[in-house]
Homo-oligomer: A and B are copies of this chain.
Amino acid sequence: MPTMTAAERRERDRQEFNVFLATCPSRQLLDRLSDKWVGLVICALQPGSLRFSELARAVAGVSQKMLTQTLRSLERDGLVEREVTPSVPVRVDYRLTDLGRSLLPLMAAVQDWAEHHMREVTAAREEYDRAS
């Protein structure tokens, strides 16, 4: 198995994966990343590991069902690790994997953008609604 440079790996990925193709696996992955709760959960885990209930409190508005579902998919995709402490009652902690942590700055950047450009978007909406 020949060694590849980083540039060669990028080129190989570029040929094999393309989010603009409807059936490409990376498109499905992008859909997961675009999930309503995925970004918030990942950023909530930035400071370190959190228990299920702490996570539920951090991400306001998420239902227990949606949080469980989101965490399962993140765990399956290798972005989050789950650790169970078999005490009574049971204690479950979640933390980012290295892969999940590599995604963190991107998700945080989008959230920052939303917070910092809210005023301009609001102004644009009022303008649009007035015109129509």
Contacts and interface: CB of A to CB of B under 8 A. Distances in A.
Interface of A: 10, 13-14, 16-23, 25-27, 29-31, 33-36, 38-40, 44, 58-61, 75-79, 99, 102-103, 106-107, 109-111, 113-125, 127-129
The majority secondary structure among interface residues of chain A is helix
Given A19-B40, A19-B114, A115-B14, A124 B106 contact: no
A66 B16 CA distance: 27
Contacts of A103: 113, 117
Contact of A118 (B17, B21, B121): B17
Contacts of A25: 118, 122
A122 B28 CA distance: 11
A127 to B, nearest CB: 8
